[in-house]
């Protein structure tokens, strides 16, 4: 896949999946723009200082003014990949309104605001948007015990399909992936007895993201692609 001279935003780019996506994009020639919450996140990002990676401290991706400013700094945006989000597990009876709002803000609102900014930036030349839902956002019953997270990710899936219809005439193809538990150090730490061989590797998931964001993807839109590995 050829991303030479194409500008791509990757939210959550400093995380495990985000870093794998940025690595694949850089190898394909892309110029990556990675918004970070704060200096600490920016400082630990492995690709900070890479000639094809621009890191910006933007603050929260739930602040629409900050998002709009960030997107306006990028000329000729080709793709916007929205990996940033958060996870919280708790039965609904123990979940506060603040915790529900936090999941909706981190997973849905940030994604919607970034989609909106990307569409405005791509209006003249088309492009690609890739969101990140989750397996629980497609298969709701296993979402028991993490209802707020499940609802927020199901909303991301619905956003993806509706928005794909809304902007296809502008030449913008919108898709999402729905990962199961991925093989990351953090997930291994919280589930030490799991069979890690069943979990998809972040590099494998990143390959699907990069294809959906690529010029080679000419026809796929409105898809929420399961990336479950063997799990």
Measured between alpha carbons, how far is 67 from 24 in angstroms, rounded to an integer?
Answer: 24
**Cβ 211 vs Cβ 205: under 8 Å:** no
Provide the whole-model pTM.
Answer: 0.96
Q: Please give the helix or strand (H or E) that residue 10 lies within, else none.
A: strand 7-11
Give catalytic residues, as residue numbers: 149
pLDDT tens readout for residues 110-155: 999 999 999 999 977 899 999 999 999 999 999 999 999 999 999 9
In a domain, 79, yes or no: yes
Mean pLDDT of the chain: 96
pLDDT at 75: 85
Measured between alpha carbons, how far is 182 from 205 in angstroms, rounded to an integer?
Answer: 8
Segments forming the whole domain that contains residue 58: 7-227
State the total domains in the chain: 1
In a domain, 1, yes or no: no
In a domain, 63, yes or no: yes
Q: If pLDDT is split at 50, 70 and 90, which confidence band does 94 have?
A: very high
In a domain, 2, yes or no: no
Measured between alpha carbons, how far is 227 from 212 in angstroms, rounded to an integer?
Answer: 13
In a domain, 194, yes or no: yes
In a domain, 66, yes or no: yes
Q: If pLDDT is split at 50, 70 and 90, which confidence band does 231 have?
A: confident
In a domain, 218, yes or no: yes
The CATH number that applies at residue 186 is 3.40.50.720
**Cβ 106 vs Cβ 152: under 8 Å:** yes
pLDDT at 213: 98
pLDDT tens readout for residues 26-68: 999 999 999 999 999 999 999 999 999 999 999 999 999 999 9
Q: Strands of 127-132's sheet, edge to edge? A: 53-57, 31-36, 7-11, 77-82, 127-132, 172-179, 224-227
In a domain, 37, yes or no: yes
């Amino acid at each position: 896949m050829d991303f030479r001279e194409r500008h791509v935003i990757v939210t959550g780019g400093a995380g495990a999946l985000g870093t794998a996506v940025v690595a694949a994009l850089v190898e394909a020639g892309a110029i990556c723009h990675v918004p970070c919450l704060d200096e600490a996140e920016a400082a630990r990002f492995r690709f900070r200082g890479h000639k094809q990676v621009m890191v910006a401290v933007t603050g929260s991706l739930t602040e629409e003014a900050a998002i709009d400013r960030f997107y306006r700094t990028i000329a000729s945006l080709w793709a916007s990949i929205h990996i940033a989000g958060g996870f919280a597990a708790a039965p609904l009876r123990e979940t506060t309104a603040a915790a529900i709002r936090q999941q909706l803000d981190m997973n849905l609102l940030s994604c919607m605001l970034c989609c909106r900014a990307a569409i405005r930036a791509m209006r003249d030349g088309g492009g690609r948007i890739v969101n990140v839902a989750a397996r629980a956002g497609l298969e709701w019953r296993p979402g028991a015990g993490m209802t707020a997270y499940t609802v927020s990710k199901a909303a991301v899936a619905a956003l993806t399909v509706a928005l794909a219809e809304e902007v296809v005439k502008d030449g913008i193809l919108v898709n999402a992936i729905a990962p199961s538990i991925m093989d990351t150090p953090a997930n291994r730490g919280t589930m030490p007895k799991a069979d890690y061989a069943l979990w998809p590797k972040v590099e494998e998931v990143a390959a699907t993201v990069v294809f959906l964001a690529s010029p080679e993807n000419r026809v796929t839109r409105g898809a929420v692609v399961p990336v479950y590995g063997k799990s």
